Amino acid sequence: MHPQLESIFDEAENRYLHSEELTVLSQYVNSLPERLETYRKLRDNELDMMQKVADQLHAEMPTEEIAVLELSIKNALLLLRHCSMGMLVNDVGFVQNRLLNWIGQTARVYNTQTVDARLYRLLNQQLTQVFTPKQLSLLQPVLTTAQTALLNQHSP
Amino acid sequence: MISVTDLLEDDRIPSNYFATDAYVRGDVELGILENRQGDRLIALPETLIQGIYAGLENETGQAAWLVLFNCGRWWGKNFYTRFQEAISGYYNKPLSEMLMVEFLQALQQCWMTHGWGKIELDQSYQQQGFLIIRVWHSPFARFALKPDRPNCHLEAGILASFFSQLARRELHCVQTTCESMNADCNRFVLGLHRRLEPVEPLVTKLDHEAIMQRLCQ
């Protein structure tokens, strides 16, 4: 859960919540229907979107080893699934703790930076076609943070 | 053509089994902590480690390090079995078929999640028949009773036993640097017993590089 919300619940024994804190909570609760809808849409369109990305990626990088392309796609699937959950619970840290160090290391060992960068561009294009601007605004903070962190991890 | 469906295994992609928030669970009502396999975990207070060290030193004197090493071996043997079961079940393939990077990542994350510090394998002496393991922030170095020699005997035992089972050969482990002696990390050398035995008395006299040179002569 978002650290700001989590810290609110830690205050139960100390005091009642201030109006500003309740506002943060209400904002999250009000955003939940849209978050759930975005999550469902991601779940239902995952394979279709990622297959299009995979086809485009292969077409754009025909000389790249299939094993590297597949690894990059697998990592992107993991990333998308974790970002979907991170979006649902409004917590960028969720992706960091569960996944970034993990796939960052694989990506470094197999040197997939160039492929990853291109894949993210294609994936983000797919997302803009499937989701509304409002839905994208929920997903993008988590996704952009994760993608940027992973691409930067490659840099020496 | 790459089929995305084929990249998924039963609609999933196994990744970070030992991720802390997914791995450590508990039942508050029963008062227990468990891992995601349902095996019990306990929080080990630092003062208990301190007490074990002091008690062993009092009761057994010089033999204390050997007792700890053997306890570590016992622990390592069981740790390997559990690690192997957990990982092969999760990845749906035997440990021997896992990619080296997958195995290493799992071991490193497992070490961190249990609070044993950060572990790294250095294979630069592989050709000579040795594996170097580095561990940072070890809980076993902190309460060393003898700051004049490496003190992570438990860990040396765990590593010897774990990697013996992995390599299916009886391996020994000698610690060459220790955080308790103000080293940057704890370094362990794994190899055959007869090759490591001669350098064991040298760990208080020579640094890691000099010991490795001696081993590789």
Q: Read out DSSP for B148-214?
A: TS---HHHHHHHHHHHHHHHTS-EEEEEEE-GGGT-SSEEEEEEEHHHHGGGGGGGGTS-HHHHHHH
Q: How far apart are CA B4 and CA A140, in angstroms?
A: 23
Which of these, B103, B17, B8, lies nearest to A74 by C-alpha position?
B8
Task: Using DSSP bridges, classify how beta strands B186-192 and B25-27 pair: parallel, antiparallel or unpaired.
Answer: unpaired
Comparing C-alpha atoms, which of A61, A84, A90, A87 is closest to residue A73?
A61
Is the pLDDT assigned to residue A52 strictly greater than 80? yes
Residue A155: what pLDDT?
53
> Pick from A55, A78, A105: which is nearest to B105 by CB?
A105
* Residues ≥6 apart with Cβ < 8 Å to B136: B117, B118, B179, B184, B185, B186
Closest by CA to B165, choosing from B110, B83, B52, is B83
Q: How far apart (Å, rounded) are the C-alpha atoms in residues A104 and A155?
A: 11
Q: At residue A156, does pLDDT exceed 50? A: no
Half-sphere exposure of B172 (CA within 13 A, CB side): 11
Q: Rounded CA gap, B123 and A146, in Å?
A: 31
pLDDT at A6 over 80: no
Q: Which residues of A, range 125-154, sit inside 8 Å of B by Cβ?
A: none
**Cα(B160)–Cα(B28) distance, rounded to whole angstroms?**
36
Q: Smallest CA–CA separation between B217 and chain A, in Å?
A: 32
State pTM to two decimals: 0.88
Rounded percentage of chain B residues whose pLDDT exceeds 70: 100
pLDDT of residue A94: 86
pLDDT value at position A154? 57
> Once rounded to an integer, what is the mean pLDDT over residues B154-166?
96
Q: Do A102 and B19 touch (CB under 8 A)?
A: yes
Q: Give per-residue pLDDT as tens, B192-215.
A: 999 999 888 888 889 999 999 999
Percent of chain A whose pLDDT exceeds 90:
57
Q: Distance (Å) from the C-alpha of residue B112 to the closest C-alpha of chain A?
A: 12
Least trusted range by pLDDT, from A105-119, B151-165, B173-187: A105-119
Q: Which of B5, B10, B16, B104 to mutate to test the interface with A (most CBs of A within 10 A)?
A: B16
Question: Is the Cβ–Cβ distance between A77 and B13 less than 8 Å?
Answer: yes
